[in-house]
Amino acid sequence: MIFLRYENWRSYLRYYPVTCLIMAANIAMFIVLWLNGGSTNPATLVKFGAMVDFGPFATEQWRLFTAMFLHNGFNHLFSNSFAILVFAPPLERMLGHWRYALLYLGSGLVGNAISMGVYRLSSDPHISVGASGAVYGVYGAFLYIALFQRQLMDTSSRKTLYSLLMVGGVYSLLIPQINLAAHLGGLVGGFFIYGLIIRLLKRR
């Protein structure tokens, strides 16, 4: 079962440095938000890089990147952090550190770009933050592995992945505040980015 974590904290830091850096960035930005008006304050989120589809902020493309490291409230941070800490490490070991970083960030950018495109079809203003697009990119990479590289994933892990995707899909549809477009965009992005990485950036 590749999704069970057996490492102590020292081994975790040594084996998964990119995952640890991502977590550190998320926590650091949550503290910054907390010290500047709170992570649920829309003005604070916009100030520090949330995705926005109205006003002059809508054309600031850098927000597609910065929004990945912001979270709206502790529960939002906790749910994404749990997924990153538990499910992302095996992918970092499989791909190597920098290729994993490329997939994580690329999936997040794809998910955020697609969600912004969907938001612009609506007349309502939107502010969006979170690592969910990148997290679903990790799931998308594992879905590729489960379908086309079955020798790299045991049966229990495949069942766990399918269950995660089903529960995540239902949850995304039922909770209005969840950015469904970012989830789907990240999933598709991770699936195809992984396929490109293993072909174009072969690991030694």
Burial category of 182 from C-beta neighbours within 10 Å (exposed 0-12, middle 13-18, buried 19 and up)? buried
Tell me the two tokens of residue 22. Answer: 């991502």
Give the list of residues 6+ apart from residue 65 with CB closer than 8 angstroms, or none. 49, 105, 108, 109, 112
Tell me, yes or no, if 39 is annotated catalytic: no
Catalytic residue among 39, 115, 132, 157: 132
Q: What are phi and psi of 175, to 5 degrees?
A: -100, 115
SS3 state of residue 3? coil
Would you call 123 a catalytic residue per the annotation? no
Residue 10 has a CB neighbour count (10 Å cut-off) of 8
Separation between Cα atoms, residue 192 and residue 137, nearest integer Å: 9
Q: Which residues belong to the active site?
A: 132, 183
